[in-house]
Structure 1
Amino acid sequence: MIYIMLITCFFGSIILTPLVKKLAFKLGAVDKPEQRKVHLKIMPRMGGLAIYISFIIGALIINPNKDYHFPILIGSTIIIITGILDDIYNLSAKIKFLTQTLAAAVVVIWGGVQVEFINLPFGGQIEFGFLDIPITILWIVGITNAINLIDGLDGLAAGVSSIALFTITGMAMIMGNGYVIAISSIALASTLGFLFFNFYPAKIFMGDTGALFLGYIIAVMSLLGFKNVTLISFVIPVIILGVPISDTFFAIIRRLINKQPLSAPDKSHLHHCLLNIGFTHRQTVIIIYAMATFFGLVAVIFSQAKVWGAILLIATVLLIIELFVEKIGLVGKNYKPILKFINDIRYAADKER
């Protein structure tokens, strides 16, 4: 049954995407070339609607006995409506934040999807108490927007989301969470079908419709798969989403350093930096796919490691990220604290010889 459903979602997305493309042109949901964009012609967006419809077909077929199933679907519908309106009319950041918060609140308050506590690795527990609802909502809204921030190249957000969904599905299999396996694999199949039209050179963009929807589903599925577990295990979804989270984090640092508003758009995201140092469009996308796969593999290893092994692994990964960020200039050309420290040591060593 599950395989038939996945095939249905996959081919459903393939069939629906050209229809959504025509609809996007009719509604004026198009992306025009500008200084901050890398495409050179008017492109239809709103392609995420094809992913959503395919996903909903599969999600309604399974109809599991879970209190949070329909709240998740209702929340995703709120997100999709927000994305469609934004792709057509370019909604303000405040309106998008309010609707995203509403979608998250539906799942958290009505569906009961909440992170209530975290077990500490050396004993004891952190209980969030009355903060469990706002913390969970913040997580969902944050990840929803993190996926949207990396949607800057053909097939980038769809591919990174697919890798994250694949990893979440695999982790859910290890943990025996049937619901997360079903929903994540349905979303994965729907996204892969869309990628046929979205990979470079893209025929349609997913737009905010797709990026916000995928971010929302990934955020909720990672919560259902890893909530109320150990502090070490709680890091797993953060690692899985290492590419969008790190890009978002360093974008915030970059804007703070440059004294810019946090919502200010710029052309210094991860994909921009890779393009600037000479990689082609296709190469940049594949490099970021490889990075997302690396984070997925780290998450799987991390989940099986002992406490000290997990701590050592995360420290190593953080160091690798920092060195990579400094090398490509993700925060800024002059932000190279570790590389400068290494060069200073080398200089001192050479001076002593």
Structure 2
Amino acid sequence: MASFVAALGVAWFFTLLVLRVSKRFAHLTNDHDLDGPQKIHASPVPRVGGVGIFLGCLVAIGLAGERSGGWLMACAIPAFGTGLWEDLTKRISPRMRLTATAVSALAAGYLLGALLKRADLWGLDWLLTFTPLAVLLTVLAVAGIANAINIIDGFNGLASMCVVIMLAGIAYVAQAAGDPLVFRLALVGAGAVLGFFLWNYPAGYIFLGDGGAYFLGFYVAELGILLITRNPTVSPLFPLLVCIYPVFETLFSIYRRIVVRGRSPSMPDGIHLHSLVFKRLVRWAVGSSDARLRTRRNSMTSPYLWVLCMLSVFPAVLCWDSTEWLLAFLLLFSTGYVLLYSRIVRFKTPRWMILRR
């Protein structure tokens, strides 16, 4: 618990410091694009909130003397650094960010042994006995989750609170499985994110940015892999169900862009599930151009998706040692997501879900 409090306090302080410094270097740190398809903010906002989170984790892990945690933070540098450089320069392509995250995953696999070597699924376990295939699947999983966290980072508090929920689930199962290392690292991550969250929600004084999103995606993915690598009783599907909301959002977005709209999967659009919730469920401020009301409407969107995230994390925590049940909940969540998206996009949202004045 001391590490949790330390991470929260350090992240809160450094996020405040970044906010102060950003006033002087706004041309570098602020997001000035207010017209993009996924841009909701009404004025330029610093998008380097990942700095406070990274430093919060680094300091708390250092104070706790967690050697493995130190190696994990070292491995995260390519993913975090490339994302942060994009936040500052706007010149780093998604491919370069994913490549850097893959390098981080390879480093963690080599230094910490964080490799996916079992899936508890027929046929796949045999394939994973071949180390090159295990390395490839690990890299794809880590880079994919990092990109997924970046995709859901669209509203104040959305991605950060979802990550807290995921890390809380991982911490609980690590404690139940008797893994103090993963337990402490999960608490450190949750504390650091909450330190940032206090500045990000509800007013949106600072954004997570690509550096923060890619770092948190890497951190969550690696803790999930370490948990199942170090504890044979934990089902390999547990981390997947914990992260299924951002992962399925990404997969569904790729399907929607390529198959439905005939566009490149890397082209941004404004019809993610969280965007539709903002436009069609939080109706009380629709059409308002007032910055205060727009910010409030922004903050009212995220709780819908926090609930969606919890609907996957709760069953994952309850059934962490049962691959069969976890697989059933994965299918249930995927089906429910598609049905919910279909109803919202066709203006058939249940009346009880719509927020009115």
The answer for the alignment partner of 1:149 in structure 2 is: 151
Question: Structure 2 counterpart of 1:176, which letter?
Answer: G
Within 2, Cα distance between the matches of 1:189 and 1:229? 24
1:296 aligns with 2:299: no
User: 2:49 touches 2:207 (CA, 8 Å); kept in 1?
Assistant: yes
Cα 1:228–1:324 shift into 2, 3 Å: farther
2:15 alignment partner, SS class: helix
SS class of match (1:117): coil
- Is 1:84 matched up with 2:87? no
Q: Distance in 2 between matches of 1:319 and 1:237?
A: 19
**CA spacing shift, 1:327–1:195, aligned 2, 3 Å:** same
- Preserved contact between residue 53 and residue 192 of structure 2 (Cα < 8 Å): yes
In 2, are the aligned partners of 1:115 and 1:228 still within 8 Å (CA)? no
- Residue 115 of structure 1, CA deviation: 1.3
1:292 is matched by which residue type in structure 2?
Answer: C
When structure 1 is superposed on structure 2, of 207-216 and 314-323 the one drifting more is: 314-323
Q: Secondary structure at the match of 2:319?
A: helix
Q: Give yes or no for contact 2:166–2:242 (8 Å, CA) kept in 1.
A: yes
Pairing partner for 2:337 from 299, 321, 325: 321
Equivalenced residue count is 326
Would you say the 8 A contact 2:54–2:212 is kept in 1? yes
Does the C-alpha gap of structure 1 residues 9 and 135 become closer, same or farther in structure 2, counting only changes over 3 Å? same
CA contact (8 A) 1:232 1:310 kept: no
In structure 2, distance between residues paired with 1:5 and 1:194: 16
Question: Matched residues in 2 for 1:113 and 1:213: separation?
Answer: 16
Q: Is the 8 A contact 2:248 2:334 kept in 1?
A: no
Give TM-score scaled by structure 1 length.
Answer: 0.85
**CA distance in structure 2 between the partners assigned to 1:312 and 1:44 by the alignment:** 41
Checking the alignment, whether the CA contact within 8 Å between 1:116 and 1:228 is kept in structure 2 is no
Please give the secondary structure, in 1, of the residue aligned with 2:119. strand
Per-residue Cα deviation, 1:114-144 (whole angstroms, up to 9, x for no partner) = 11233348x9943410211111111111111
Taking a change above 3 Å as real, the CA distance of residues 109 and 284 of structure 1, as seen in their structure-2 partners, is same
What value does the CA root-mean-square deviation take over the aligned residues? 2.5
Assess if the C-alpha contact under 8 Å between 1:45 and 1:205 holds in 2.
yes
- Structure 1 residues 311 and 85 mapped into 2: Cα distance closer, same or farther (>3 Å)? closer
State how far apart, in whole Å, the 2-side matches of 1:53 and 1:124 are.
38
Residue in 2 aligned with 1:271?
274
1:261 alignment partner in structure 2: 264
> 272, 280, 299: which is aligned to 1:282?
299
Q: Aligned partners of 2:338, 2:29: CA distance in 1, in Å?
A: 38
Task: Measure the CA separation in 1 of the matches of 2:321 and 2:107.
Answer: 33
8 A contact 1:24–1:45 mirrored in 2 = no
Larger radius of gyration: 1
Of 232-241 and 173-182, more deviation after overlay is shown by 232-241
CA deviations on 1:60-106 (whole Å, 9 max, x unpaired) are 2233454xx44311122222211221101111223212211211111
* Partner deviation per Cα, 1:7-50 (whole Å, 9 max, x = no partner): 12111122111111133344411112113201110111101100
Deviation readout 1:299-334 (Å, 9 max, x if unpaired): 122325584x555444433332221122123xxx59
Give the AA of the match of 1:45: R
- Which residue does the alignment assign to 2:247? 245
SS at match of 1:299: helix
Q: Quick one: structure 1 residues 277 and 238, their matched pair in 2 at CA, closer, same or farther if it must change by over 3 Å?
A: same
CA distance in 2, matches of 1:193, 1:327: 36
2:269 and 2:24 map into 1 onto residues whose CA distance is 29
1:324–1:175 Cα change, 3 Å? same
Secondary structure of the residue aligned to 1:118 is: coil
Counterpart of 2:344, as a letter, is: I
Whole-angstrom distance in 2 between the partners of 1:306 and 1:78: 33
What residue number does 1:108 align with?
Answer: 109
Q: Which 10-residue stretch deviates more, 20-29 or 199-208?
A: 20-29
Q: Residue 22 of structure 2 aligns to which amino acid in structure 1?
A: A
List gaps (5 residues or longer) in structure 2: 283-296, 349-357
- 1:254 and 1:271 mapped to 2: Cα distance? 15
Per the TM alignment, residue 229 of structure 1 is displaced from its structure 2 partner at its CA by: 7.5
> What is the CA–CA distance in structure 1 between the aligned matches of 2:220 and 2:153, rounded to whole Å?
15
| Shift of residue 278, structure 1, vs aligned partner | 3.1
- Matches of 1:311 and 1:205 in 2, distance apart? 34
Q: Indicate the percent of aligned positions where both proteins have the same amino acid.
A: 23
In 1: Cα distance, 2:233 partner to 2:247 partner:
18
Q: Residue 2 of structure 2 corresponds to which residue in structure 1?
A: 4
- Bigger Cα displacement from structure 2, 237-246 vs 57-66: 57-66
> Structure 1 residues 177, 264: CA separation in 2 closer, same or farther (over 3 Å shift)?
same
TM-score calculated relative to the size of structure 2: 0.84
CA distance in 2, matches of 1:39, 1:311: 38
**Contact persistence 1:147–1:211 (CA under 8 A):** yes
